[in-house]
């Protein structure tokens, strides 16, 4: 009888651990999908701004005068474990001819590896 209780307890612990890790992985996947959605949204807004103005917005404008193109500057999900890079970092390049938008993924998404990535007017590098 004692062996059966121990076996049942071990099975219960293994099941709880499996469910916990499955939940954690699903949460991380959702966070990374949000990052990709944010990056795509920012990229479209930057392209519209460029099409209408002939240049990409200055760094100072993306958090203030950019609202006609992007209602708010998104931030990555709080569960994002890229503490060294917890935000989307926009930089105007070459007087507005180009830009970079740096972002971090905590897992592989859309054939992009975990880690730091850069969106430019030509796509994601």
Task: Give the model confidence (pLDDT) of 24-39 as tens digits.
Answer: 555 567 788 888 999 9
pLDDT per residue as tens digits for the range 38-66: 999 999 999 999 999 999 999 887 766 67
pLDDT at 22: 47
61 SS3 class: helix
Phi, psi at 103, each rounded to 5°: -150, 165
pLDDT at 23: 46
* Mean pLDDT for the stretch of residues 93-114: 88
Q: Please report which helix (H) or strand (E) contains residue 105, including its range.
A: strand 98-105
């Amino acid at each position: 009888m004692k062996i059966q209780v121990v076996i049942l307890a071990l099975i219960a612990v293994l099941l709880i651990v499996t469910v916990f890790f499955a939940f954690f992985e699903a949460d991380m996947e959702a966070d990374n999908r949000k990052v990709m959605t944010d990056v795509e949204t920012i990229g479209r807004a930057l392209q519209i701004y460029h099409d209408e103005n002939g240049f990409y917005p200055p760094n100072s404008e993306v958090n203030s005068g950019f609202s006609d193109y992007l209602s708010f500057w998104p931030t990555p999900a709080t569960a994002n474990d890229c503490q060294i890079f917890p935000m989307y970092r926009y930089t105007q390049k070459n007087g507005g001819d180009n830009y970079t938008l740096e972002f971090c993924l905590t897992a592989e998404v859309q054939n992009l590896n975990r880690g730091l990535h850069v969106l430019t007017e030509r796509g994601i590098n």
